[in-house]
Amino acid sequence: MFDIQDTRAFPLLILISIFSLISFLNAQPNYDYHLCQGQDGDRANSNFETNLSSLLDSLSSKASLYNFYNDSFNQIYSLYQCRGDVNTTTCHTCVKAAAQQIQERCQFNKTAIIWFDSCMLRYSNEDFFGIPETYTGYLMWNNKNSTESSPRLDVGALALIYKLVEEAPNSERMFAMDEGVALDNSSWNIYGLVQCTRDINNVSCNVCLVKLLKNIEQCCRERLGWRIMGPSCHLRYEQTLFYQQSPANQPMPTSGEKTREDILFKDLKRPTGKTKFREGNMQARGEEDSGEMYYFNLTTILTATNNFSEANKLGQGGFGPVYKGTLPNGKEIAVKRLSAKSGQGIEEFRNEVMVIVKLQHKNLVRLLGYCIEGDEKLLVYEYMANTSLDAFLFDPTKAKQLDWPKRAAIIGGIARGLLYLHEDSRLKIIHRDLKASNVLLDDDMNPKISDFGTARIFGSNQIEASTNRIVGTL
């Protein structure tokens, strides 16, 4: 041991202090940029500040476990996304700093976003989950231009970036990174990274990245490195290695085995976000011109259904109970809740999402979205005020409302829905369980076919198939 009074120890103390300071500084996340919108002077006099702080504290705690997380609290919505190559320790440090700084830099703003080198975080008083934001938040580039001895962007790097833009939307984590070689200078390695927030779907991810790519022409062709950042996606290119070459460790289940449920839901666990669907000649076939599907937070559904109150219960099927709900905007919904005791329910849940998400027709019930969170597996549909056809057919009083013109209209609507499923849709669908209780009626008594849990998809030229178990209604 050395004595603090021994002057020979001072140089060593100075070196220790310098190295400690360097280690501390290296551990701190690097702030890049922020945007504050929706200034509201009344925010200081409301509970918004307290609610936001609580939400961001909760969100920050998740960063020690997850690379991405979104949540809401009292009409405030927030998410964070860490860079796909960083570990959870770096992610947690970054998100914690982002949560603190976004409140300091964007006081009295009800919408804000902040970018760090290793993460981004945003919040808003409006629900933005699953809605792709394709505008450019900020550009950052190396002030030095390429020279004769350094590679030009348009020769080698564009090929690398375009490759990553193609790969990322199709990856589980909406993320891709790789290195390449400059085509006009093979001694130079180049590096790229692209990523989308995981609340949007793969189609929206691709659109977002391609739109941000258009900035290259304006800012970055001659630059040695650049970043193009948006709320829903970002791109980065450098001529020095800037990412961790080993993939970041992600939380894994305690058991090494994949359960039957894991396999069935592998295509559904990432929120699908807001998706538009289009098919040819939809107006001629009676199809709606677009459809939307959302990933709903469990908190939103619990609030809408009053915690699955018995008073909100509409009925019970083989899948599980169905509840009426009301979203914050006043829209009424019907929520199917998978029963834990349902032996066939898991397969039917997945089948229903995968089938009906591809279908849009005015005589098919519309799937608004779904939720998979913890043990809960929920399907969210448009609400049909007149419930199902069987409620009228088998009720002597209500049956009187079905005069022959109405019955003919209902029969025609069901037939049009079946014709679409069998002949006119992109996929050939055999429902296999069509009955009065699976025909729902809207306010105007228009019929809509529902419950596609046992439906079967056929190839375009396929006319027969074998079944493994008995399903359906005779």
Q: Which residues are catalytic?
A: 433
Two tokens, residue 237: 């290119």
Q: Which two tokens stand for residue 383?
A: 């609400």
The residue among 170, 217, 161 whose CA lies nearest residue 194 is 161
Paired tokens of 151? 């590679």
User: With contact defined as beta carbons under 8 Å apart, do 331 and 325 qualify?
Assistant: no
Q: Which residues contact 445 (CB under 8 A, 6 or more apart)?
A: 386, 406, 409, 410
Buried b (16+ CB within 10 A) or exposed e, 281-303: ebeebebeeebebbbbbeebbbe
Q: Which own/partner pairs from 275-282 qualify as long-range (CB within 8 Å, at least 24 positions apart)? A: 275/201, 275/203, 275/204, 275/357, 277/357, 277/358, 277/360, 279/360, 279/425, 279/426, 282/360
Amino acid at 275: T
Alpha-helical regions (H) of 45-87: 48-62
The angle subtended at Cα 158 by Cα 153 and Cα 159, nearest 5°, is 130
- Cα radius of gyration (the chain): 27
Q: How far apart are CA 133 and CA 112, in angstroms?
A: 13
Alpha-carbon distance of 194 to 177, in angstroms, equals: 6
CA distance 239 to 32: 19
Structure tokens of 297?
Answer: 């937070």
